[in-house]
Amino acid sequence: MGLLSDPNRRKALTNLLTRLNAPICMVCYLAAIVWFMGLAFEPFTLRTYMSENAMGSTMVEERFSSGERALSLAKEFDAHKRKAGGMPVEWLVKAMQARGLEVFTQSFSRKLPFPDENKERYMVRGTNVYGILRAPRAPRTEALVITAPCSPGNSDNQAVGLLLALAQYFRNQIFWAKDIIFLVNEHDLIGMQAWLEGYHHTNITGVKLKNYLMTQFHNWSIQAALSLELSSDVITSLDLILEGLNGQLPNLDLANLFYAFCQKLGVLCTIQGKLQRNDWDTAEGYTHAAQTMMLMVLKQACGRSWGDHGLFLRYHIEAASIRGINGFRHYKMDVATIGRLLEGMVRKLNNLLERLHQSYFFYLLPSLSRFVSIGYYMPAFGLLAVILLLRALDLWVNLGAPALEAVDGVTEAEQPSGPGVLTVLTPVVISHLTGVALYLLPVHLQEMAVEHFPVSETEAVVLTAVAIYTAGLALPHNTQRLLSGEGTEQGWKVLKLTALLYLAVLLGCTALINFSLGFVLAVTLVPITASMTPHMPKALSALAMVLLSPAFTILYCVFIYQELIEAPVSVGEGWMLFLSVISQGILDHALYGSLVYPLLALFIYPCWLMFWNILFWS
């Protein structure tokens, strides 16, 4: 700081920074990209290890053997599900009661803001059934949750069958210290949301709970939850899904626990559907790890819950989904093995004395046995954020230079006293109003749109959103001219300074909560926003700006994601996917309170519009 308090040296430093600003920014950007890609390189990452003492030292002996019973229960469940045309409530209640559980049901109904075309639902009505295994001699303060969805069609029957078989087996054991809740939820996340809201006696998303039976039996603090998805009698591998709502992740110890038991029982386990490879020193090995990590980043960035577990995380309940995959491999496992795996995990969780808190909550996984902690990945984002700050500093120095001369004694009365607040405020306000329109109008105008155009409600919502987004491009760059006449040189500089700092704060906050989202947005937004001036060739830079706008970022993410999961799509299909991603984003926000859509509509897009405004400053 002595450096800054000495005017000469300060001047030298600022000179250096302004002179070398562009090269430094370039270097920072490249360094950020290289750093990020380096995270997937195995020698740079840490090996995962179990931090929680209560789960580490004692290996349990798994004895679950009723795989056949699970399968026959699954068949029975399937038959009753078909007969009932949904959740077979009565059968399930009886089945759970016969296994010595206390059984309760919870009915809920929900009207979606607009029809969900992916899952074909609009008015949702359903029932959750859950049975409680009371731990002997426990004062009803803690619980574990195991869930299986009741999905339409043939899927997830085996999960319910296994759930019931596990319940029967667990009921005969005496070592439980925590109550265990076996939950079968209908309508996947909507049912789960209803259950969690009933459980916590809150109403944050407007699910209608029919009865308050729920309130009678929920005073535990839930320590952990496992969600089970299993659709075939034999499986080849198990996939672990961690990404939850708003990019929240469960404690890394939960993933470690899963990995430890997969190792112990010789079960193939994957993350992001990708097996682990041992050849990190070859190009293929590195690419594989990088792809796995990129998939995790993309999934986390989109902020939706990738399994039924995702909603638990909001309530500070560590949760993960385990999905059975039946691929084309020789080595197959039966349901009993998965049962043993779950038994082992639940018994270890049962040993917990405290909530899972020892290990990391912020991490990226290039493979199941390696992780990147927040300390390692944050510099990549930091390097990007520094660019914005450097550019802001440069502008600040530029703006301050003439003022400094004025202090020197050359009294020039005709020197303009800086740009008015109005010049800056107008574009800021107008951009944000456009953002508010983008946030509110699509859902609220759907009826009007359906009346006037031959489209369905979902299409109406998505197309309105796209239309408002595009209309926003035409709007704000003429605004300041209306109010304050000709835009001055200083005017855009002040606006750009404001916009740069605003973007830096926005991205910084986003990255702290959801690193992936912050990083993905920074990678696309930073280069164009950092270099934008009104003096660049209009057509070319406008094209560049549009191509690097938030909407196109989503489009690129869709293509990259499809490429990474080895299901590449054509441009037309990609466009359709892009539209459905937008509708899902809006739905996720309305149904579960996902924050990505409001963040993009209310903050990132207006911020980008401010730069758009600068480009057309005249």
Partner 1 sequence: MAAHRCGLSVVCILIFSSLAHPSSCDTLEKANDNTATKRRISEVNTDGSVAGEDMNERQWQSTDVEVNRSDGTKNGETFAPAKDQFQEELVIRPLHSGDIYASFQFRTLWDTDFLQEGQKKVSHYRLFPKSLGQVLSKFSVQELHISFTQGFWRTMQWGQPFIPSPPGAELWVWFHDTVSDVDGNWKELTNVLSGIFCASLNFIDMTNTVQPSASFKPLGLGNATDHRFLRYATLPREIVCTENLTPWKKLLPCGSKAGLAVLMKSEKLFHSSFHSQAVHIRPICQDEQCTSKAWELRQTLNVVFDHYTSGQGKKEWSLFKMFSRTLTEACPLASSSKVYVDITDNPEGELFELSPATPLLSQAVVLGDRRTYSVYDLTRAETFGQLRSFNLLLRWKGDSGDMLRPLLHAERYVAGFGLQTGEIHTVIYNNHPYRAFPVLLMDSVPWYLQLYIHTLTVTSKSRDNKPSYIHYQPAKDRHRPHLLEMLIQLPPHSMTEVTVQFERALLKWTEYTPDPNHGFYVGSSVVSALVPSMVAMSTNFTQDQPLFSSFVPVKEESSYFVRVYTEPLLVNLPTPDFSMPYNVICLTCTVVAVGYGSFYNLLTRTFQVDEPSPPLAKRLANFIRRIRGVPLLA
Contacts with partner 1 by CB under 8 A lie at 1-2, 4-5, 7, 100, 102, 134, 136-142, 171-174, 200-202, 215-221, 314-316, 353-355, 357-358
- Taking the least distance from each CB to partner 1, the nearer of 15 and 215 is 215
- Taking the least distance from each CB to partner 1, the nearer of 29 and 220 is 220
How many angstroms separate the CA atoms of 368 and 561, rounded? 20
Q: At 132, which helix (H) or strand (E)?
A: strand 121-133
**What Rg do the C-alpha atoms of the chain give, in angstroms?**
28
| Shortest CB 2 distance to partner 1, Å | 7
| Shortest CB 180 distance to partner 1, Å | 14
| Shortest CB 328 distance to partner 1, Å | 42
Class of residue 100 by CB neighbours under 10 A (exposed 0-12, middle 13-18, buried 19+): middle
Q: What are phi and psi of 223, to 5 degrees?
A: -90, -40
| Shortest CB 319 distance to partner 1, Å | 14
- Taking the least distance from each CB to partner 1, the nearer of 199 and 561 is 199
* CA-to-CA separations, 110 to 114, 199, 493, 591, 597, in angstroms, rounded: 11, 17, 49, 9, 21
CB of 308 closer than 8 Å to CB of 192: yes
- Taking the least distance from each CB to partner 1, the nearer of 116 and 343 is 343
| Shortest CB 116 distance to partner 1, Å | 26
| Shortest CB 175 distance to partner 1, Å | 10
- Taking the least distance from each CB to partner 1, the nearer of 224 and 449 is 224
| Shortest CB 196 distance to partner 1, Å | 9
Contacts of 609 (CB under 8 A, 6+ apart): 427, 431, 434, 435, 472, 473, 476
| Shortest CB 361 distance to partner 1, Å | 10
- Taking the least distance from each CB to partner 1, the nearer of 220 and 578 is 220
- Taking the least distance from each CB to partner 1, the nearer of 281 and 405 is 405
- Taking the least distance from each CB to partner 1, the nearer of 172 and 570 is 172
- Taking the least distance from each CB to partner 1, the nearer of 205 and 488 is 205
* CA-to-CA separations, 261 to 94, 103, 177, 254, 340, in angstroms, rounded: 32, 30, 21, 11, 9
CB of 220 closer than 8 Å to CB of 140: yes
Closest to 580 in 3D by CA, of 595, 562, 605: 562
- Is the Cα torsion angle 346, 350, 351, 356 positive or negative in sign? positive
Amino acid at 313: L
- Taking the least distance from each CB to partner 1, the nearer of 7 and 537 is 7
| Shortest CB 367 distance to partner 1, Å | 25
Contacts of 582 (CB under 8 A, 6+ apart): 462, 465, 466, 554
| Shortest CB 314 distance to partner 1, Å | 7
Query: Can you give the length of the chain in residues?
Result: 618
Class of residue 170 by CB neighbours under 10 A (exposed 0-12, middle 13-18, buried 19+): buried
CB of 460 closer than 8 Å to CB of 450: yes
How many angstroms separate the CA atoms of 308 and 194, rounded? 12
CB of 517 closer than 8 Å to CB of 507: no
- Taking the least distance from each CB to partner 1, the nearer of 60 and 542 is 60
Whose tokens are 């979606």? That residue is 112
| Shortest CB 416 distance to partner 1, Å | 28
Closest to 581 in 3D by CA, of 564, 600, 608: 600
Amino acid at 532: M
- Taking the least distance from each CB to partner 1, the nearer of 132 and 615 is 132
- Structural tokens at position 253: 């110890």
- Taking the least distance from each CB to partner 1, the nearer of 100 and 273 is 100
- With both helix axes pointing from N to C terminus, report the angle between 7-19 and 374-407 in degrees, rounded to the nearest 10: 110
3-class state of residue 249 by DSSP: coil
Q: What are phi and psi of 225, to 5 degrees?
A: -140, 140
Q: What are phi and psi of 115, to 5 degrees?
A: -60, 140
